[in-house]
């Protein structure tokens, strides 16, 4: 069991925090991440998997755009997981995920992930409770396997309030730059908020051992980006990366 109690965690930054100060800190982290990503790629010893989970409009796309703006595209990939295809449905639930994990030297970002198979499928009861419980164990073993093979796994839950989510979804109806994201079903899914929160809480309870979750308050983009950039920076720094010397 984890110590995470989602209902007690604020979706906002502390009132004492100054936005401009932390935006400057974020810029410094992003620059350092770019340099360390070069070393990660050159050294080819480790890889990094970044898992982004959250409700619709929690800001996953924005994190990818901003936090990874300083990395070399040659060393970074993004994979979005949507409704499984017919081919994917014919395999185990991790099949489509495992083939997308990063090779050594690479950063891989998951926009949604294998956790969809224990969250949305639980909410809509597409699989039974016993299957969901077994999947928690499979996920833990899968993530432990990745870690043992040199892949650091960072899991971020973008913790947005329902009120902020609804505002962002409505904004997609009026902002031409965001209209392409509009899906009429998103507001219907928001009506299942309580069920989704329960499903995520269970995922945190069962899948926070070897690879912990980072709960990121996401109502303010600047704070969300700062926290995620900080964790990624500190994780890469802990690997003691270096450029290979001449042989």
Residues 37-78: tens digit of each pLDDT = 999 999 999 999 999 999 999 999 999 999 999 999 999 999
* Structure-block tokens of residue 242: 């270096």
HSE at residue 42, side-chain half, CA atoms within 13 A, is 13
Structural domain contains residue 227: yes
Structural domain contains residue 65: yes
Structural domain contains residue 4: no
Give the per-residue pLDDT at 1: 63
Statement: residue 33 has pLDDT above 90: yes
Structural domain contains residue 183: yes
The domain total for the chain is: 1
Q: What is the per-residue pLDDT across 130-180, written as a single tens digit (0 to 9) for each?
A: 999 999 999 999 999 999 999 999 999 999 999 999 999 999 988 888 888
CATH number, residue 171: 3.40.50.300
Structural domain contains residue 243: no
Give the per-residue pLDDT at 181: 83
Give, to the nearest 10 degrees, the angle between helix 19-43 and helix 221-238.
Answer: 30
Structural domain contains residue 244: no
Domain span holding position 94: 19-238
> Strands (DSSP E) along the chain, which ranges?
47-54, 76-80, 107-111, 151-159, 213-217
Q: What is the per-residue pLDDT across 197-223, written as a single tens digit (0 to 9) for each?
A: 999 999 999 999 889 999 999 999 999
Per the model's pLDDT, the better-predicted residue between 3 and 239 turns out to be 239
- Taking a C-beta distance cutoff of 8 angstroms, is the pair 66, 225 a contact? yes
Structural domain contains residue 149: yes
Structural domain contains residue 9: no
Question: Could you tell me the pTM of the whole model?
Answer: 0.96
């Amino acid at each position: 069991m984890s110590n995470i109690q989602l209902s007690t965690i604020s979706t906002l930054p502390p009132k004492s925090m100054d936005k401009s100060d932390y935006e400057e800190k974020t810029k410094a982290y992003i620059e350092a991440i770019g340099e360390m990503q070069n070393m990660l790629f050159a050294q080819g010893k480790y890889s990094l998997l970044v898992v982004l989970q959250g409700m619709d409009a929690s800001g996953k796309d924005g994190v990818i755009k901003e936090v990874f703006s300083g990395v070399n595209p040659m060393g970074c990939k993004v994979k979005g997981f949507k409704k499984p295809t017919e081919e994917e449905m014919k395999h185990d639930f991790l099949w489509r995920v495992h083939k997308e994990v990063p090779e050594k030297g690479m950063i891989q970002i998951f926009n949604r992930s294998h956790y969809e198979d224990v969250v949305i499928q639980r909410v809509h009861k597409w699989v039974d409770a016993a299957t969901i419980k077994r999947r928690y164990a499979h996920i833990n073993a899968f993530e432990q396997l990745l870690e043992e093979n040199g892949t650091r796994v960072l899991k971020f839950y973008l913790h947005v309030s329902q009120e902020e989510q609804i505002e962002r979804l409505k904004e997609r109806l009026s902002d031409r730059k965001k209209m392409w994201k509009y899906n009429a079903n998103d507001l219907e899914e928001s009506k299942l908020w309580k069920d989704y929160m329960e499903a995520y809480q269970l995922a945190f309870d069962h899948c926070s051992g070897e690879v912990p979750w980072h709960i990121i308050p996401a109502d303010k983009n600047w704070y969300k980006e700062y926290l995620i950039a900080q964790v990624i920076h500190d994780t890469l720094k802990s690997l003691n990366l270096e450029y290979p010397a001449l042989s």
